[in-house]
């Protein structure tokens, strides 16, 4: 039998995409970073696009006529979805960071409750809220215009 | 600045963005729902309404606050992600300086646009 030479301590793409044994919070974390990067990219373009209003009505209307196309509308909705997720998940992260809803510190005497499980109800609540915001946004984006 | 101070500013900026961006997103993207409830603005993307909002002190101040908080939060967040790649100290310093300069540059440009829009006269 051929012996393996060393152990390649790299998970590759799986390290990014798989939550492994960390549970749902790990996926929440990956999604938080992805949405954050997406929003930052949009935001920097947004600064330049909205600044065209200073050049007057014609400049504004010419750029807006391009951005009215379906490709950009769908992109804009994706930014809205990313915003809803990132904002509400971010509130959960700040609450967890500051120890809100995490209970009093206690000795780890068996059977104890893990901290991830203590904050999980908050995760469920913020995800429901995010879903509501996304549905309201989708309704407004695609059905009320 | 101590890293922990920068981190708490990052959280604080996040909270500021939460409040201001919620207002911004509601006005821009939940406009039809708000109008049905008797609130909000019509034709939010028409030049006339963009112009009219820019002339209000509330929106001018809100845009500049949002600009500053979002640039800090976004660039610090990206810096955090990059720093987790085990970069050398020198490269870390380069990233910090580049992001700081880029943030200041974008802030000056965006704040100039908000103030120029506030002072604009209708043609």
Domains and CATH numbers, chain B: 3-119 (1.20.1300.10)
Cβ distance of B117 and A53 shorter than 8 Å = yes
Residue A1 within any structural domain of the chain:
no
Task: Quote the longest CA-to-CA distance of chain A.
Answer: 75
What are B14-38's pLDDT values in tens digits?
999 999 999 999 999 999 999 999 8
**What was the pLDDT predicted at A7?**
63
Residue A10 lies in a domain: no
Range of the domain at A86: 22-142
pLDDT given at position A120 = 92
- pLDDT at site A38: 98
* Closest Cβ opposite residue B45 in set A64, A94, A144: A64
Q: Which two tokens stand for residue B71?
A: 């640039």
Amino acid A102: pLDDT? 86
Q: Residue A13: what pLDDT?
A: 73
The answer as to whether A98 is a domain residue is yes
- B7-11 average pLDDT score: 97
> Which chain B residues are within 8 Å of A60, Cβ to Cβ?
47, 50
Contact B30 A140 (CB under 8 A): yes
User: Does residue A17 fall inside a structural domain?
Assistant: no
CB spacing of A137 vs B54 below 8 angstroms: no
Contact B45 A140 (CB under 8 A): no
3-state secondary structure of B38: coil
Angle at alpha carbon of residue B45, lines to B43 and B50, rounded to 5°: 100
For residue B95, the distance in angstroms to the closest alpha carbon of chain A comes to 16
Q: Would residue A8 count as lying in a domain?
A: no
In a domain, A28, yes or no: yes
Write out pLDDT tens, residues B33-46. 999 998 888 889 99
ipTM: 0.95
Q: Which two tokens stand for residue A10?
A: 């790299």
Predicted local confidence at residue B119, as pLDDT: 94
Q: Which two tokens stand for residue B75?
A: 């660039």
Residues in chain A with pLDDT < 70? 1-9
What's the pTM?
A: 0.91
Q: How many domains does chain A have?
A: 1
Burial category of A95 from C-beta neighbours within 10 Å (exposed 0-12, middle 13-18, buried 19 and up): middle
Please tell me if residue A45 touches chain B, with a CB cutoff of 8 Å.
no
The helix (run of H) or strand (run of E) holding residue A83 is helix A70-97
A32 touches A96 (CB < 8 A): no
All residues of chain A having their beta carbon less than 8 Å from the beta carbon of residue B36 are 144
Q: Which DSSP helix (H) or strand (E) runs through B13? A: helix B3-29
Answer yes or no: is A33 within a domain.
Answer: yes
Contacts of B42 (CB under 8 A, 6+ apart): B31, B35, B49
Q: What is the CATH number of the domain that holds A87?
A: 1.20.1300.10
Chain B residues in contact with A91 by the CB 8 A cut-off are: 18
Within 10 angstroms of residue A87's Cβ, the number of other Cβ atoms is 22
Query: What pLDDT, on the 0 to 100 scale, is given for residue A138?
Result: 96
Contacts with B9 (C-beta within 8 Å, 6 or more apart), sequence order? B72, B76
User: Which residue in this structure is represented by tokens 């920068």?
Assistant: B6
A37 found inside a domain: yes
The residue among A47, A62, A88 with the most chain B CBs within 10 A of its CB, best to mutate, is A47
Q: What pLDDT shows up at residue A3?
A: 58
In angstroms, rounded to a whole number, what is the distance separating the alpha carbons of residues A45 and A88? Answer: 23
∠B101-B106-B112 over CA atoms, to 5°? 125
Tell me if chain B has a CB within 8 Å of the CB of A74.
no
In chain B, residues with a C-beta closer than 8 Å to the C-beta of A142 are none
What are the C-alpha distances in Å from A128 to residues A29, A88, A125? Answer: 17, 10, 5
Q: Which residues of B touch A44 (CB under 8 A)?
A: 106
Mean pLDDT, residues B93-111: 98
């Amino acid at each position: 039998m051929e012996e393996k030479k060393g152990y390649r301590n790299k998970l590759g793409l799986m390290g990014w995409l798989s939550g492994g044994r960390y549970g749902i919070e790990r996926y929440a974390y990956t999604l938080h970073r992805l949405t954050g990067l997406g929003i930052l990219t949009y935001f920097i373009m947004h600064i330049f696009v909205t600044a065209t209003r200073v050049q007057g009505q014609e400049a504004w209307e010419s750029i807006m006529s391009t951005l009215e196309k379906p490709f950009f509308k769908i992109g804009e909705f994706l930014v809205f979805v990313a915003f809803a997720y990132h904002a509400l998940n971010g509130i959960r992260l700040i609450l967890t960071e500051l120890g809100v809803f995490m209970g009093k510190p206690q000795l780890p005497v068996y059977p104890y409750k893990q901290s991830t499980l203590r904050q999980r109800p908050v995760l469920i609540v913020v995800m429901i809220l995010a879903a509501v915001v996304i549905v309201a946004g989708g309704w407004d984006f695609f059905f009320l215009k | 600045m101590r890293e922990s101070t920068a981190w708490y500013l990052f959280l604080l900026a996040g909270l500021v963005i939460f409040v201001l961006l919620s207002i911004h997103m509601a006005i821009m993207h939940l406009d039809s729902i708000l109008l049905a409830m008797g609130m909000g603005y019509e034709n939010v993307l028409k030049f006339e309404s963009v112009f009219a909002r820019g002339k209000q002190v509330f929106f001018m101040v809100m845009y500049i606050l949002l600009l500053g908080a979002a640039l800090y939060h976004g660039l610090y967040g990206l810096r955090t992600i990059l720093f987790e790649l085990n970069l050398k100290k020198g490269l870390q310093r380069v990233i910090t300086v580049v992001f700081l300069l880029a943030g200041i540059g974008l802030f000056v440009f965006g704040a100039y646009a908000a103030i120029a829009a506030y002072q604009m006269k209708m043609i």
